Structure 1
């Protein structure tokens, strides 16, 4: 039996910025206790905690390298010690270096694989061990796996791996009453998206979907909140949230 939302606990990696931060606040509106997980800025994480609390939830901020298995285990320990358990894991942390494949420094490639792919594996591994029945694991892929935009080869490759992990894990959790899905946003108005792009390029990308705009972090957060709560019959899926953009 699923617990009341007021009793539910969510870990949101990448929760200090962008989609992760909006998701943390959205879950706060549902009464969740949220562990805002961040990699860099304590100040941004503290602001995210305030947003969750203002929305009606409880929250703490915990720093963790998502690719470090010991740090992630300690993160889940902290969630359990602070709030009594873990029901939902939203793994939104990621990095996105842009470069044509021929020019990408292999150190940058290794970093994106470590954060995006190994990070997903490490976070999901702890989630499998810790998430309570009636819970949800929500990974983040990207519509770039379909859009195949030049310059994104490394990033899209890691997100293809995230999709494979997600679909297999859903089947490995047979009988556990835990759903596993991936959300694959299209271009979304976050600092990570805007970084390094000209206004002309931003405008061109925004015009691509039939809705003729960029996604907003709250668009994605609504989908995550659905998968975390009422969307119990959605399982083992990659959901493309991109306003109708097509390859």
Structure 2
């Protein structure tokens, strides 16, 4: 896979894309990365990429000309990249989105700044994505989030090909639920112990506990995920009990 970014601050990417799992996968040739500077497609001495919006209003908008020229030039160097713009109008970014993007051979992440972009720039988008209902100073951080989520799905990126299966939102063992609670040494920490079943060595009982725990944690912290989870009738009844326990008017507030 080849991942590319188009931004007015391309220098932001290298520390992230060369560190930890991303860096290791990149050095192993699992993916290639290139950060382009949008200002390289400007034609004035100030390298201007923004201007005042027609009709007035606060802030500045990114100009369509450098964006269009940059995307066209980048696309001309090989197979057309799947081009993604970040905008509040976009599809919410989820694990399913990351899985879909990981199937592309080449993606281009276009990072906005200022108050947004000239609307005509979005004609060059194959897809619009939003990573959440909040405002960032630019699309660079959003692009890093997407790149991280996508790269870790590529074969060989994590080393252990099963590492993705049991994770939250993965659709693996948990079937789209939050991941079950996990523990490591010591078995007792300041009076708080590890569930006995995890110390039993009985793998069937451990699997059953993990499944029930994943359902319970999802009901407690993300009950909105329960409806779409692949639960049996028995599990759904258990989930309803958990939701009533944690979200009834009498439920105590937890600090966990």
Query: TM over 0.5, yes or no?
Result: no
Question: What is the TM-score when the length of structure 2 is the normalising length?
Answer: 0.30
Greater share of helix: 1
